[in-house]
């Protein structure tokens, strides 16, 4: 709030300065001393370039330092260390270039402001200079792109065989998660099977679907690879879990994937951040409609033993919605009842 007030104050001061300058110019015009106006306004403009540069840099650094903790969250995944290194190296190189070029950009209009004592110099071209400022950025950018690609290939490589597979489906306006259950295979789905209850569109002709379960929270095992199978049911959404340095779009009709290894449990993070109420979360970073802001999914990272215990306590989707047994083909009904732990007594 204070930051906002300061920014508004600066804008107002600049507006007042501009008005004073305008008035001064008009008064000069009235006094018929237009000749002086030229050099006067030049001087003011030249000075304003420097003022603008200094104010902008002060605001930029003040804001960046003040909010550093907001955009540099603790890393909680293995690949996060690599992507953060890439980010900061890129930021360092481009940051230095940005500051140097901005200083030159604003200093030159000041230094070379109009002066009756100076004559403009005709400077057609300089091949050596052109060569340097083409080759140097080309080499630096190529190095950054190659480095970025190698990181991309590492992060986007196929998931290890033992990865926990979890489906995340985005819809307006929430996330649904689905675990493959004890057979470790996600059951098939078909968008035509989606109805008011079967929001995943689970296909019960596929036996892998019988033991799939869909909890309210997303649980992950610490130190083990996890692969998200991501899809969207209606419009574009995007899975964003900043502590894991994870962001992957959820695209209707085009399933995406992302695998990673969580390195800190929720309990570890509560100690590290000193916040006993800390929770990981997944947010949506695609403005997907009017309820976009409510797309928050609680994520809990457990120690592996706790994770296994939690998994064993989850009830398959089919056992919570036994009326969908009717969709199971006759020859698979018995298997469906065993896999989904539906007791025959509950049916009669
Ligand atoms: Cu969304």
Average pLDDT of the segment spanning 163-178 = 93
Q: Helix (H, G, I), strand (E, B), or coil: what is residue 233? A: coil
Number of Cβ within a 10 Å radius of residue 340 = 25
Helix, strand, coil % in the chain, rounded to nearest 5:
55, 15, 30
CA of 255 to the centre of ligand 1 (A): 15
CA of 283 to the centre of ligand 1 (A): 8
Tokens 């457990």 belong to residue: 302
CA of 342 to the centre of ligand 1 (A): 34
CA of 90 to the centre of ligand 1 (A): 29
Question: Residue 348 has what pLDDT?
Answer: 44
Q: What is the pLDDT of residues 317-330, one digit of tens each?
A: 888 888 877 777 77
Question: Residue 38 has what pLDDT?
Answer: 56
Question: Residue 33 has what pLDDT?
Answer: 59
CA of 166 to the centre of ligand 1 (A): 18
CA of 216 to the centre of ligand 1 (A): 17
CA of 192 to the centre of ligand 1 (A): 21
Q: What is the pLDDT of residues 21-76, one digit of tens each?
A: 888 888 877 776 555 545 667 888 899 999 999 999 999 999 999 999 888 899 99
Whole-prediction pTM value?
A: 0.77
Average pLDDT of the segment spanning 158-171 = 92
User: Is residue 345 predicted with pLDDT exceeding 60?
Assistant: no
Number of Cβ within a 10 Å radius of residue 287 = 12
Calculate what percentage of the chain has a pLDDT beyond 90: 62
CA of 338 to the centre of ligand 1 (A): 36
φ and ψ of 211, to 5 deg: -105, 10
CA of 67 to the centre of ligand 1 (A): 26
């Amino acid at each position: 709030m204070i930051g906002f007030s300061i920014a508004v104050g600066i804008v107002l001061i600049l507006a007042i300065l501009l008005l004073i300058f305008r008035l001064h110019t008009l008064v000069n015009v009235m006094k018929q001393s237009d000749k002086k106006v030229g050099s006067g306004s030049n001087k003011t403009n030249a000075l304003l370039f420097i003022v603008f540069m200094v104010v902008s840099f002060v605001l930029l650094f003040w804001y960046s330092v003040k909010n550093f903790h907001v955009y540099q969250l603790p890393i909680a995944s293995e690949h996060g260390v690599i992507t953060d290194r890439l980010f900061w190296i890129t930021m360092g190189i481009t940051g230095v270039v940005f500051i140097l070029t901005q200083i030159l950009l604003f200093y030159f209009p000041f230094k070379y402001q109009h002066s009756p004592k100076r004559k403009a110099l005709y400077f057609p071209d300089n091949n050596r200079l052109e060569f340097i400022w083409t080759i140097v950025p080309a080499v630096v950018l190529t190095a950054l792109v190659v480095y970025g690609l190698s990181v991309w290939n590492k992060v986007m490589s196929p998931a290890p065989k033992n990865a926990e597979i979890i489906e995340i489906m985005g819809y307006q306006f929430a996330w649904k998660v689905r675990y493959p259950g004890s057979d470790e295979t996600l059951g098939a789905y078909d968008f035509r099977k989606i109805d008011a209850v079967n929001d995943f569109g689970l296909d019960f002709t596929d036996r892998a679907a019988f033991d799939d379960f869909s909890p309210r929270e997303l649980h992950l095992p610490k130190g083990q690879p996890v692969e998200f199978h991501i899809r969207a049911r209606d419009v574009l959404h995007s899975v964003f879990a900043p502590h894991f340095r994870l962001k992957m779009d959820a695209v209707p009709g085009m399933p995406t994937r992302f695998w990673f290894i969580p390195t800190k449990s929720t309990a570890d993070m509560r100690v590290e951040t000193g916040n006993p109420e800390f929770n990981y979360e997944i947010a949506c970073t695609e403005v997907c409609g009017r309820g976009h802001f409510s797309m928050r999914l609680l994520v809990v990272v457990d120690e592996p033993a706790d994770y296994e215990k939690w998994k064993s306590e989850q009830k398959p989707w089919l056992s919570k919605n036994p009326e969908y047994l009717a969709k199971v083909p006759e020859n698979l009904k018995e298997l469906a009842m065993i896999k989904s732990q539906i007791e025959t007594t509950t049916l009669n």
